[in-house]
Structure 1
């Protein structure tokens, strides 16, 4: 005697299969942005430093990314001068030893040893000079410059250095982690949720040169058409650099207990593969995991599937 329930359980499930494909996407970075008034920002000193001579005249207009101030760390400036003098002295000693080596008064190996010491001093000098050059303060956007510190002034960490003010409409400022900021670029698109979909909401027109005292990098967004008032908080989605990943149909994604997976057809059975969701874009999902290009992904009836269950492919 046949039991209907057992007969149904033994029958393979009818499913539809789609081949996974490789496609490009832009990673979505969700952020909260606060609406600001006409552009204005105050740049603070990231460490104890001395204000160097002003690179631009106060009140002048600069472009986005232009150097508006230079900060010299307290001890680093003296270190650079000392290393430079040491490198010059080492070169003088080497030149003398080279002449003496030609005359046979010292061995060539001795001259080569002095040359190695000279090059090591030059490398240390250049490394310190590069660290000193990193104290350049750049304007996050175009605007007029107003200094709050005079050249030669001692600046404690967090002290105001220069104010950048510009004219224009309101804009949004987002706080990003350093990792998120590295995935962005000037000109990146910004989206906002409207009617259940993500709508264009402007673009990133400036990125801060360095993180603030809390470790966040500020991104500035402009172009949102909706009426805005300074002080509003918006939930935006920023799109980063293009990346390549495996794309599967959205209907193939199954999330259980906070874990995402897809089912791949293998020898007439469903095999569960854990994946990491990179982005959901309409009817496609970009994932990372053990799903290769061309893998037969089951995209129908995934709620009934379990690992190892027999399936039958339908057209």
Structure 2
């Protein structure tokens, strides 16, 4: 029996299998932030291909929160309807959807937008990165409200869950690290203070939006003096306390030039997921150069995680789940229209 094809649950959301498509920026919108024909084909293909949970790419909560001018956005009510229509189509194939709500912070590269960050520290001295404005307490309050409003729109658009982007060096992640957060108020200094914003944002979303909430974190920023797995374990426990339903464990992204050695090999981040899973009682999603059905099966069998996210592999092969089903002799899970290929 394959664990990869057993049912799973995140909060009250039931998933038909444990294969997750993680959020991957497609940079295929325009300044409007709208879903385009590309996105409709891209996500619908993975639903037809048998994925249990599809997490839409980083979707900005305000124009200043985009990584690029080609990012998706959910900062206005006018953007809801297209998402709602696409979700209805995806759901018809038995897949569930989440949307990753994001703010780029100091990594915003949009022309005519001034980035905002916990402290006035640029991500890089090189173009197109710009010096960010240090967020005031009023800015922080407003951005938390933007996250909640975007989550409410996601609910109206019929998403099954929300993922809060607290990883890869974007706004919420920047507050976590002592290298990018030099504040001397309640949002800076101690580990507790640096975690405060992400915890507050998660708590407010859980209180105001009736959907399961996933939080994606960078377990280690790959800097000897920076955010690390011990910090992430503390954060994950606190996220669980405020009602977060799952932790999605990635790493890196907050520093242009990491000074810890990184060996980019299959499942290179899975140990982080396992360490966090051992400390929390909510499901953990592992991600990071996982490419085969056997690798996913190993991670589940050995309790590294509860769900396996396949990123690059799902870019290469929208029907990865069918290939895995065939490998595990579960051909009944293959869409009948594709059966002749197996």
Q: Which is helix-richer, 1 or 2?
A: 2
Structure with more strand by fraction:
1
Which category describes the TM-score, using the shorter chain as reference length? under 0.3
Larger RCO (alpha carbons 8 Å, 6+ apart): 1
TM-score, normalisation: structure 1: 0.21
> Scaled by the length of structure 2, what TM-score is found?
0.20
